[in-house]
């Protein structure tokens, strides 16, 4: 069977360091930290009192008041990112065959804020069950994709992926496979998350997963630093328009990059911890290279999962060194979570955007907040500490690993007609 080529024709993002793609990319290149004290609720009694919240966001700037009240924040972020990407792709909606356009959107948690608010309201009452009629449709994790398809009248495949922090990478892989199999012409794909609330912070604190560096939030996310003490919770969303190559050429679309592979694996090890020897990481990177018909030496940059946890960071690097061998020392490696925090189900999408733009612009965003070398990591590895680095990036790989041992990786390469 002849597989179709798949290209990237539109990007959209709303992140803790920029509310559109240009703002996000420029902030990445300039090493801007999105971490700051929490503003959404009083966090003074929590072990962690900071997060990477989206800045200067007002629902009323994007939605009519009545409409905005029916949509959870995670789905609002999905709307904002997808609107930008669809506009960026430049579709002629009158000519677009919307029966051949799908939406695959992921959220690891869904409407956690809505769920929390409804439970709080019920607990304050007299026990009589009074719930908002929009409680369920606001909360469920598939509704963001449903709302995108409803807004634009896209009648192709429409569903949600859920694989914790690998969620939106899995969404991209599904979209990629459907297009190259000829099932769709275009898929709006990505993910969004909004878990910066009492339940989110409290839950991750209970797991000892979050950094508690309350005295220095901006430097708390420290991937590969010896003093790293956990991840920083982030929020927002990213959208990538994937399109069948001939369809894109026929309408004169601009093309950012070509998506050439998607890989998946399972650690089958622990409910939250990655395999200490990087077993799942090795498997998923070998899988994506095989799917892309590429060799390890073809990769120039890896946007790593790199959450800033004591266990997770070393296991991923062990996987990279095993798969890439001596070529690992020729790679640029960076964790953009050092700036954005961890967007959970939305992480894969915004990190794929970073990989795509690195390929397009031949520059690698940095890993910030490095203060103390960790002897566990080989000093010959280039973690792109402190500053962005210019280099030819013909191909970039992006890793995401989720609770439950879910691993997903994607590869983007320079577009050549």
Catalytic positions are 165, 305, 342
- In angstroms, the CA 334 to CA 114 distance is 34
Query: What's the alpha-carbon Rg for the chain, to the nearest Å?
Result: 20
Q: Residue 236: which region, alpha, beta or left (left: phi > 0; alpha: psi -120 to 50)?
A: left
Adjacent-strand bridge partners of 410: 262, 398
User: Which helix (DSSP H) or strand (DSSP E) does residue 332 occupy?
Assistant: strand 332-334
The DSSP bridge pattern shows strands 186-193 and 236-244 to be antiparallel
Burial of 30 (0-12, 13-18, 19+ CB in 10 A): middle
Could you please report the per-residue DSSP string of 6-29? EEEEEEEEEBTTBSSHHHHHHHHH
Place of tokens 């890993």: 367
Q: Where are the alpha helices (DSSP H) in 307-370?
A: 312-324, 337-340, 347-361
The DSSP output letter for 385 is B
Q: Name the DSSP class of 382.
A: B
Task: List the structure tokens of 350.
Answer: 């915004």
């Amino acid at each position: 069977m002849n597989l179709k080529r798949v290209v990237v024709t539109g990007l959209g993002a709303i992140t803790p360091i920029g509310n559109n793609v240009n703002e996000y990319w420029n902030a990445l290149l300039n090493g801007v930290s999105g971490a700051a004290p929490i503003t959404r609720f009083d966090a003074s009694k929590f072990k962690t009192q900071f997060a990477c919240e989206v800045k200067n966001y007002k629902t009323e700037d994007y939605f009519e008041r009545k409409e905005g009240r029916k949509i959870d924040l995670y789905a609002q972020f999905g709307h904002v990112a997808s609107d930008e990407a669809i506009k960026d792709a430049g579709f002629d909606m009158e000519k677009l065959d919307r029966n051949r356009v799908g939406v695959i959107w992921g959220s690891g948690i869904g409407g956690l804020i809505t769920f929390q608010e409804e439970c709080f309201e019920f607990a304050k009452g007299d026990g009589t069950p009074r719930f908002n009629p929009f409680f369920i449709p606001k909360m469920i994790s598939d509704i963001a994709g449903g709302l995108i398809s409803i807004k634009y009248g896209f009648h192709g495949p429409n569903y949600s992926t859920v694989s914790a922090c690998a969620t939106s990478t899995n969404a991209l892989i599904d979209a990629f496979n459907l297009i190259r199999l000829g099932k769709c012409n275009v898929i709006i794909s990505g993910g969004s998350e909004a878990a910066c609330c009492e339940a989110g912070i409290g839950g991750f604190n209970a797991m000892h997963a979050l950094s508690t560096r309350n005295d220095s939030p901006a430097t708390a996310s420290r991937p590969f630093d010896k003093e790293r003490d956990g991840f920083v919770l982030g929020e927002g969303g990213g959208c990538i328009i994937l399109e069948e190559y001939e369809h894109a050429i026929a309408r004169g679309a601009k093309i950012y990059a070509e998506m050439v592979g998607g890989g998946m694996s399972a650690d089958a090890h622990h409910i939250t911890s990655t395999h200490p020897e990087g077993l799942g990481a090795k498997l998923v990177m070998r899988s994506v290279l095989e799917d892309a018909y590429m060799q390890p030496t073809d990769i120039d940059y890896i946007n790593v999962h790199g959450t800033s946890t004591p266990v997770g960071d070393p296991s991923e690097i062990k996987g990279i060194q095993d798969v890439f061998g001596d070529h690992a020392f020729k790679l640029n490696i960076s964790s953009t979570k050092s700036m954005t925090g961890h967007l959970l189900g939305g992480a894969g999408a915004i990190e794929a955007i970073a990989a795509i733009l690195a390929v397009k612009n031949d520059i690698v965003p940095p890993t910030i907040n490095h203060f103390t070398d960790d002897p566990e990591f080989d000093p010959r590895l280039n973690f792109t500490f402190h500053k962005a680095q210019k280099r030819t990036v013909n191909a970039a790989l992006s890793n995401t690993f989720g609770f439950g041992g879910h691993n997903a990786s994607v590869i983007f390469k320079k577009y050549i007609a």
